[in-house]
Amino acid sequence: MIMNVLVFALFAVAVVIPPALADKREDAYAGVERWSEAFNSGDVEQIVRMYTNDALVLGTLSPGMTSKHDDLRAYFKAAAAAQFKVKLRDHSAVALAEDAVAIAGFYDFSRPAADAQPVVVPARFSFVMVKKDGIWKIAHQHSSVRPKSPQ
């Protein structure tokens, strides 16, 4: 009898938990998609609101770590002024806790150039998304230029 209960419990965990985790990962990634939309719109205030008050950010073009909203505002204001856009590519997500998801992947930044051909910068990212008051926010972001494959 105990064995039957144990087998049933393990089966229930195997069937119920993965979809719940998948939903959590998808919900958190939707936060990254909203960040992308805000970035592409150039709405700096909307971008900054997407970060927790104590977020740590290592920006693609930043020489240091940013952890204050005023610094984030200045960083993204410069990106908007340069007309940078972002296009999300492949990603993968791991649920860390009930309210935390780590997401890593690739995106491309682009901006107009003088000769009308856009400058494209392939990059890679990691986000740690945390759910605060029912909203997925960015607690950590690392972004760096993607190295070229060895020849």
Domain ranges, ordered by start, for the chain: 2-145
Q: Is the pLDDT confidence value at 6 over 60?
A: no
Poorest-confidence range of 46-50, 63-67, 134-138? 63-67
CATH architecture observed for domain 2-145? Roll (3.10)
- pLDDT (0 to 100) of residue 11: 44
Poorest-confidence range of 40-44, 61-65, 87-91, 100-104? 61-65
Answer whether 132's CB lies under 8 Å from 98's CB.
no
Q: Is the pLDDT confidence value at 2 over 70?
A: no
Residue 124 — pLDDT band, cuts 50, 70, 90? Answer: very high
Query: Mapped to the 3 state alphabet, what secondary structure does the chain carry?
Result: CHHHHHHHHHHHHHHHHHHHHHHHHHHHHHHHHHHHHHHHHCCHHHHHHCEEEEEEEECCCCCCCECCHHHHHHHHHHHHHCCCEEEEEEEEEEEEECCEEEEEEEEEEEECCCCCCCEEEEEEEEEEEEEECCEEEEEEEEEEECCCCCC
CA distance 29 to 39: 15
Kindly list the distances between the CA atom of residue 22 and the CA atoms of 9, 11, 35, 91, in Å, as whole numbers in the listed order.
20, 17, 20, 14
Q: Is the pLDDT confidence value at 39 over 50?
A: yes
Residue 117 — pLDDT band, cuts 50, 70, 90? Answer: confident
CA distance 144 to 112: 20
- pLDDT (0 to 100) of residue 71: 95
